[in-house]
Every structure is written in structure tokens, then in C-alpha cells.
Amino acid sequence: MRYSYYPGCTLSSTGVEYGQSVAAVCEVLGIELVELEDWSCCGSSSAHALDHELALSLPVRNIALAQPAGMDTLMPCPACYQRTLRADRRLREDEAWRREMEALLGFAYDGQGRPRHLLDVLGHDLPAEAISSRVRRPLKGLKPVSYYGCMLVRPPKLTGWDDPEHPVLMDRLLSTLGAEPVVWSYGVDCCGGSLSLDRSDVVKTLVGRLATAAAEAGANCIVTVCGMCHINLDTRQQGTQMPVFYLTELMGLALDLPGQEQWFNKHFINPLPLLASLGLVGQRR
């Protein structure tokens, strides 16, 4: 399996461990990632708060870069995915705008490849056995709640690959890894997103509610596939110390891939005591 790869800015800044674990997991699962050369901003956060046109035309540049390879583009960040998906949809539906974009960027849109989120690819393109057959260390005793965040599976008219209110894909993958996912009601709630910078009080309230709800549901950790969610959950908890993992980190752990400690060292809330208590620490090979 080959995909064009758009890592986005988070994976080389606050989400370094996400990027590293994505690379490690994809490699071992036979998912070849071809990073787009000279990719640029996806238009999220600042751009779409300031200028809707700009926020939609920025991702078109990346769509144009991806087009020659003719493959779907894998994106680990929900915000990048969301922006690019929106732009791609508008290219398909708004002919006048498409012509404008084509003139602006000097390409002819052919609509072959599509933007895809990592979770969609892992859950739908990959047979479950591809993962389960490689699990060396089942994550027994790990009771995660799946946290999709507010934008990954929404709006359903754009995404359409999981239930927009009660998504199930992450639970399914976590079960494949041997973890025991816990049902809760907050999987698609908001973490506060980029308000973390200017209204940290809002983010603290929202994150506080998520962490408390996870604990009340009987979970011992939270799993996410979003860099923004991760940093908010990891840095804005009040009173609780609920470890927050990227899904790919847990896959790396279960598949016993090298580099794990390096990833977990990046966390503010140290997950190692939890993993140690469950006997899940240290590479085994």
C-alpha cells in the first residue's frame, strides 16, 4: 500500500512523537508513505479564522502537489484533513472556483487521489489481521477511552467513514491490540482546540470534563489521533493525571516497535508508571 503523505506542522513540533510513531507503525504494516515535496500550510487555525478563501486555497496547493502521483494522501492531523477535504470537495462541486484555483496554481484538477485520515486508512484499507497478526504484546489491562475530537468524523457529509456521533473505528483497532476500550459519551466532544493559547480557562474546563468523565467511566488512559487534542489533554488537566496516548504510540507498543521510550518521554503526563503497573514497559525483543 502506497500513499502520498502530508504530515502537517504539528508532527514536527508539538506532536513529534505522533509523527515518529506514525512512521514506525506504517513501516512495519507495509504502508509506504511518500511525503509530498515542498508541502505548505493546510490553512487551519489562523488562516481559516482570518480569511475563508485563503484557508480553502492553501490546501489546494497541496492537492496540486499530490496529484501527479495519483494516490490518496494520508494525513494524521484532523485539522489538516478537514481543511484539505473541504477544499477537495469544493474543487469537485464548484466549477467556477475550480477554474480559478487551477489558474492560480497552474494545474488541472483531475480528482484522482483523495485526502484520507490516518484512522480511516488504518481501519478500512488494512485488514484487521494485518495488525492482529503482528501484535507481540497485547495491551492487556489498558483501558482506554477513544477520543476522536470534535472534527475528525464531522461533518458527515464530508467524511462519511464513521458515525459522526458514536464513532467506533478506534475502539475496534484498540481491541485488536488487546486493549479493553471503555465506552463513554465524550468521544466527539471538543477539547477547546486553539483556544488553548488565548482562553486557557475554557480549555481547562473542557479538558477537565473529559479527563473526569474518562476516569468515571473506568478508563485508565485516553487515546487520540489529533496533535491539538493531545497537547490540550496532556497539559491542561486539573487535578487528574490521566495519561494521553496517540493511537499509533499504542500500536507501536503492542507491535513492540523500537523508539517507544523516546515517544513517551515527550509527554507531560508520564505514562510509564501506568504501563509499568500493567507490565507493558520496555522493549522485549
What is the binding site for other proteins (CB under 8 A)? 155-157, 163-166, 185, 189, 213, 216
Task: Please state the closest distance from residue 82 (CB atom) to other proteins, in A.
Answer: 15
The Cα 172–Cα 132 span in angstroms is 11
Task: Please state the closest distance from residue 97 (CB atom) to other proteins, in A.
Answer: 21
Residues 6+ apart with CB under 8 A from 130: 29, 30
Nearer to other proteins by C-beta: 200 or 212?
212
Task: Please state the closest distance from residue 37 (CB atom) to other proteins, in A.
Answer: 37
Nearer to other proteins by C-beta: 53 or 163?
163
Supply angle C-alpha 22, 5, 157, rounded to 5: 95
Nearer to other proteins by C-beta: 1 or 202?
202
Task: Please state the closest distance from residue 127 (CB atom) to other proteins, in A.
Answer: 27
The Cα 8–Cα 41 span in angstroms is 7
The Cα 282–Cα 278 span in angstroms is 12
Nearer to other proteins by C-beta: 32 or 163?
163
Task: Please state the closest distance from residue 213 (CB atom) to other proteins, in A.
Answer: 8
What phi, psi does 279 have (nearest 5°)?
70, 35
The Cα 154–Cα 161 span in angstroms is 10
Nearer to other proteins by C-beta: 125 or 189?
189
Residues 6+ apart with CB under 8 A from 97: 90, 91
Query: Dihedral of the CA atoms 108, 109, 113, 114 (nearest 10)?
Result: 150
Task: Please state the closest distance from residue 165 (CB atom) to other proteins, in A.
Answer: 3
Specify whether the backbone of 218 is left (phi greater than 0), alpha (psi in -120 to 50) or beta. Answer: left
Nearer to other proteins by C-beta: 35 or 165?
165
